[in-house]
Structure 1
Amino acid sequence: MPSKKDKIFEMDLYKPVQKYFTQQGYEVYGEVNHCDLAAVKGEDLIVVEMKLRLNVELLIQATKRQRFADSVYIAIPKPKQSLFSKKWRDICHLIRRLELGLILVSFQRNNVKLDIPFSPASFDRLKSMKLNKKRRANILTEIKGRNGDYNVGGSNKTKIMTAYKENCIHIATCLDCFGPLSPKSLREMGTGDKTLSILNKNYYGWFDKIKRGTYTISNIGKSEIQEYPEVADYYYKLKRDEGQI
């Protein structure tokens, strides 16, 4: 049995996994037709694929075994990263989504500990969507709030155009064209129900409150909306087409 300081090999995973399934009443065999471990009890066939690291190759290998096995597990050494981290939760979601089971083997000084966070089970996609209906609603609301595709998918460290920012630009262009306005007047121009909230919050510093119920565009606003020419031009053109300017 390897200690914490010893180098671990894939074959070191075999004995603890074999012992576990043997205790569950299975007959266990290693290296059966390219399967790392095969366990059988009656007509139930379980296959376990073992690797030192969880990678795409292991997942592909395991899903291929699903063509003929009743259940398939992947077995890896227990990772050093926190099992409560977002990254690890996402990894576990992927494994569950593939309907695989997960076995973690921890090599300690005097013994080997085996943990099975979850066994193979059918993935209920409809149930998953119901649990995430709020996220779906947020995406659809965000799309509805945009009037064009101003972002490039996969962009990194670039300014992203959101529905909120576009709404701010819409308000700023109205104030730039017509001067000081009330939230009611802005809403009548189509700036939406969040107009008052946006003006009060003034997240980007684009607006100045000149008196109660009346706002104007700030110098910062005049300068910064020019950084989004496509969106600003869309709203300026919209006002010209509607005969407002």
Structure 2
Amino acid sequence: METELYLPVKTFLESLDFAVKGEIGRCDILALREGDPPVMVICELKQSFNLELVLQGVDRACACDEVWLAARLSARGKGRESDARFRNLCRRLGFGLLGVSQHDEVQIIVTPEAPFPRRDPKRRSRLLKEHRKRQGDPVLGGSTRMPQMTAYRQQALACAVALVIAPQRRRDLAKAVPDAPKILERNVYGWFERVEKGIYGLTPAGREALERWPQACP
């Protein structure tokens, strides 16, 4: 699974002074080095180097400064990483290639050489905002088929924790959870109910959510 590659690649990028988080905006890895401007790297993971991995990189390129493609190195050294045509394609696209050995050692196969024009500043801004607002790194990069622990979900869970004992006013919750008023009003997950004007309580669905994600509870 792609998640097996996440921690080795994360460790590699952290050694380059990046703050690394998984599964942000459908990107397996989003790495951020603060500065003016910040440097944003997107890394996609696959069990082997293939065309789908390259296509994912093409899709992500407009939203970041560098794209890295990472995959498991073939046991016999006969995978795509050994194909000069594949490496040259990545060089022409400006993508970096990382190979992960069977012992989880990461090696650079191709270094990204060309900066990308920022054709989609709105998408870049959304990714940057999510990376900065998400608390910790709760999702392994490469995770699929499961609800993702986004910054929004983290704040919604924080609201649910605060409402376990008794309903509260939105403005009181906002002291600890800045987006609480919007989260309670929109009620995207069906976890909250309005008890009276400006006061919200927790629904059975909200209590089930806290059982599903116990790490949200203090």
TM, length-normalised to structure 2: 0.49
TM, length-normalised to structure 1: 0.44
